[in-house]
Structure 1
Amino acid sequence: MNRLDEIFDEAIRNGTFPGGVLLVGDHEKMIFEKSYGTLSKDSKVPVSNDTIYDLASMTKVTATTPAVMKSIEDGKLRLYDPVSLFLDEFKTDEKKEIRIFHLLTHTSGLPSYSEGWKYAQGKELMKIVNSTMPINPVGAKHVYSCLNFITLMEIVEKVTARKFDEFTKSEIFNPLGMVHTAFKPPKNWKIAPTSERDGKTLCGDVDDELAYYLGGVSGNAGLFSNAADLYNYAKMYLNHGKHGDRNIFSKETIDAFTCEAFNDGQNRRTLGWDMKGLACSCGDLMTDRAFGHTGFTGTSIWIDPQIDISVILLTNRVNISRRENQDKIIRFRPLIHNYIVANRRFLGE
Structure 2
Amino acid sequence: MSQSTLDQLLGAVAGADQVLILPHNDPDPDAIASAFGLKKLLNQRTTLPVEIAYQGIIGRAENKALVRYLGRPLRPLTKATLQRAACIALVDTQPGTGNNPLPTDVTPHIVIDHHVWRDETAAAAFYDVRPDFGSTSTIVAEYLQTAGVVPDRMLATALFYGIKTDTMGLVRGATPADVDAFHTLQALTDLNALDEIQRAQVPASYFKGLVTAFQSARIRGPLLTSYLGPMSYPDQAAEIADTLLRLQGTTWVICAGYYEDELVISVRSRARSGGAGQLVRAIVGELGMAGGHGTMAAGHIPLNGADPAALAEELERRALDLLKLDAKVPESPLI
Q: TM-score scaled to structure 1, two decimals?
A: 0.30
Structure with more relative contact order (C-alpha pairs < 8 Å, separation 6 or more): 1
Higher helix share: 2
Give the alignment's TM-score, normalised by structure 2.
Answer: 0.31
